[in-house]
A = this chain, B = another copy of it.
């Protein structure tokens, strides 16, 4: 299966870049399935129902999130009727929405997508390693799923690399999100899992992690509160990881970064 996982879509710039470029990307890469992290799609803060359907109409099959999932008040209300929207699975029991689900891909294939959140330097949730194990205890490669994709929304590179290796050989891909900067370490791990520490944002890189840069710099320099941050509006780079899986095993045969548009050097898988 030919799969694309996109990093955090930030604001209008990010959304428009995804909407405009997705048709060409889907075609050029002959994609079967697209996951994108949408936790910053609404002006940098969360996601609305309208934006969710905008994204799914753009060709995104599943939208994951992270620590910003509840930034928009409406999200907790609509998430239960939004099967394509995931929130981190390791939130407390009784949290609205779901953290993983099985989706249909072309030709009857099934894709398990799970959204998990790291804990190092983040608000502590329950153990994401145990959460990953619990998901795989129910469904896995060759056991109901033709591909298994983990969006690991986390800050620390140590936790992310450890997470990748912990599930190596049991999932198709572990792709990090949250830092809003793409890493250049796309690789196949030893036992066949595609791995990238961070997919990077789909957003304007002439910014501070997607937000207009004046106020964030002021916060670091002056240590005083500022007005609310606003998303940067320059041309966005669409960033993600392309993964080709072996339909027999569900493991990855190849992975390579996608970066197109905006400030960053272009890269096609």
Binding site for B on A (CB under 8 A): 70-71, 76, 91-95, 119-121, 123-127, 129-130, 155-159, 161-163, 165-166, 179-187, 189-190, 197-198, 200, 205-209, 213, 216-217, 219-225, 239, 256-257, 259, 263-265, 267
Of B157, B184, B256, which one neighbours A267 at CB under 8 angstroms? B184
- Provided the pairs A157-B181, A181-B197, A208-B161 are in contact, do residues A265 and B256 lie with their beta carbons within 8 angstroms? yes
A133 to B181, CA, bound (A): 26
Q: Which B residues lie within 8 Å of A207 (CB)?
A: 161
- Provided the pairs A76-B224, A183-B182, A267-B184 are in contact, do residues A190 and B206 lie with their beta carbons within 8 angstroms? yes
Flag if B162 contacts A185 (CB, 8 Å): no
A185 to B162, CA, bound (A): 23
| Additional 13 contacts, C-beta under 8 A, given A121-B155, A181-B198 | A92-B222, A94-B222, A120-B124, A126-B130, A158-B208, A159-B220, A161-B207, A165-B213, A182-B184, A183-B183, A183-B198, A184-B267, A187-B263
A93 to B187, CA, bound (A): 31
Most B-side CB within 10 Å, residue of A165, A183, A185, A207 = A185
A31 to B179, CA, bound (A): 32
Q: Which B residues lie within 8 Å of A186 (CB)?
A: 265
- Provided the pairs A119-B124, A182-B183, A205-B185 are in contact, do residues A129 and B220 lie with their beta carbons within 8 angstroms? yes
Of B91, B92, B187, which one neighbours A205 at CB under 8 angstroms? B187
Copies of this protein in the complex: 4
Flag if B70 contacts A224 (CB, 8 Å): yes
Flag if A184 contacts B257 (CB, 8 Å): yes
Q: Which B residues lie within 8 Å of A197 (CB)?
A: 181
Q: Which residue of B lies closest to A125 (CB)?
A: B223
Q: Which residue of B lies closest to A160 (CB)?
A: B181
Flag if B157 contacts A91 (CB, 8 Å): no
Flag if A185 contacts B124 (CB, 8 Å): no
Q: Which residue of B lies closest to A163 (CB)?
A: B220
Most B-side CB within 10 Å, residue of A121, A127, A182 = A127
- Provided the pairs A179-B157, A182-B184, A187-B264 are in contact, do residues A121 and B123 lie with their beta carbons within 8 angstroms? no
